Amino acid sequence: MDAQTVVELSGLTKRYGDVTAVHDLSFSVQRGEFFSILGPSGCGKSTTLRTIAGFENASEGTIKIDGEDITGTPAHQRETGMVFQNYALFPHKSVGENIGFGLKMDSVPKPEREDQVAEMLATVDLDGFEQRMPNELSGGQQQRVALARALIIQPSVLLLDEPLAALDLQLRQNMRFELQQIQDRLDITTIYVTHDQEEALSMSDRILVLDGGTAQQIDTPRELYNNPRNRFVADFIGEANILQTRFKSSTHDTIELEPEFSSMNTVSLEKNGLDTDAFSKGEQIYLNIRPEDIMIRPPDEDLTNGLTAKITNKTFIGKTTQFVATVGNNQEILAEATGLAAQQSIATGDTVSLTWSRDDCTIIGEHRE
């Protein structure tokens, strides 16, 4: 084990009766790392977090914190600090009492407790809020109290369960920034559970994508976005065009693929050192092209890498304009264009050419590396 590993899960499985919520999950989180667990609702991300906190018992597998096996340790003896989605502030206790609760349980004398609470309130920008009651605070302030309450016990790992989900958009973005700053300043190991991919991408050092209780990919945000390992990750992170193709041939530096949906075109992409020896002719390969990487060109332009398509839908969404183009047998491709020119010059019903840079097209799945 790496000396810097704070949290280590190996083979964690959680079953409720016949339902497996988390299946054979293994990952480790390094000191100071901001680690996110991302997935749709019901994917097992909260269960995983709750198992780390000790609110659920693992059916199989082990959990280690700071190298110590805590799989069977009761929740109150674990070195974790949790921020709940609804904050779970004690309604009958003042802000100061809420934040000082962990210290009180740790038998820290009152004067010292009060000093630490004041200090922690300063950290979260709520100086002098000791006497307020939780119901007198705004959502964002409650959020900060919850964070302060979890941080004051100096946990080995901070566990955040969708802490921003209850806030409105503007506040959510501010809090995201603030949370990241506090995390950075205190250098605290953090596991963050969210279903919001934007949140995960913008804040995390690494992200675990979870679906159906099974790990799909653990990677940096950039890698997840650029090199999704499977269709689920490609679809879930950002918007994706997943094209079903068959392997045709490969040269020294390019791969030629034949789209399933249109026999007229050939798609070629940069080999990038990929070993194609394992590929057999006609083998099914999935490609991913991000909508923002697709360029819409006039139909007659001679293209080495592109598809002829018909625009079937056009939606103005503010910053960009989204186009749905249909190729061949009803294969829909999503393209996004910025600027007024695209908005005005392309109309529904137009026949166009869709093209992209070879670098922007990636193979999804087992052949990736």
Partner 1 sequence: MSSVEPRQWVTDLYMLISDPIETWFDQQKSYIPLLQLAPGLIWVLGLLGSSVGIILMYSFLESAPLSAETPVITIANYQTVFATTYYLTVLLRSLLIAVTVTMISLLIAYPAAYHIAFMNSRFRNLYLLMLILPFWINLIIRTFAWQLILGQSGLINYVLVSLVGIFETPLQLLYSPWAVIIGLVHVFMPFAVIPVYTSIQRIDHSHIEAARNLGANRLQTFYEVTFPQTLPGIAASSVIVFVLSFGSFVIPNMLGGQGNLMIGNIIAQLFGESFDWALGSAMATLFIITVIILVYIFNRIIGLRSLYGSDAA
- How many other CB atoms are there within 10 angstroms of residue 302's CB atom? 7
Choice between 88 and 186, CB closer to partner 1 = 88
Residues 81-120 vs partner 1: string with x where CB under 8 A? xx-xxx-xxxxx--------xx--xx--------------
Contacts to partner 1 from residues 134-193, by CB under 8 A: 134-135, 149-150, 153
* Contacting residues for 96 by C-beta, under 8 A, at least 6 apart: 114, 117, 121, 129, 130, 131
Which tokens hold the place of 224?
A: 């997840």
Task: Please tell me the distance from the alpha carbon of residue 163 to that of residue 185, in angstroms, as a whole number.
Answer: 19
Q: For partner 1, which residue of 44, 54, 61, 238 counts as binding (CB under 8 A)?
A: 54
Choice between 106 and 275, CB closer to partner 1 = 106
Task: Please tell me the distance from the alpha carbon of residue 21 to that of residue 36, in angstroms, as a whole number.
Answer: 18
Choice between 149 and 176, CB closer to partner 1 = 149
Q: SS3 for 9?
A: strand
Q: For partner 1, which residue of 55, 72, 297, 339 counts as binding (CB under 8 A)?
A: 55
Choice between 91 and 349, CB closer to partner 1 = 91
Choice between 163 and 291, CB closer to partner 1 = 163
CB 187 within 8 A of CB 154: no
Residue type for position 196: D
Q: For partner 1, which residue of 76, 252, 281, 319 counts as binding (CB under 8 A)?
A: 76
Q: Does 21 bind partner 1 (CB under 8 A)?
A: no
Phi, then psi, of 235 in degrees rounded to 5: -75, -40
Locate the DSSP E strands across 140-211: 157-161, 190-194, 206-211
Residue ranges that bind partner 1, judged by CB under 8 A: 53-55, 74-78, 80-82, 84-86, 88-92, 101-102, 105-106, 134-135, 149-150, 153
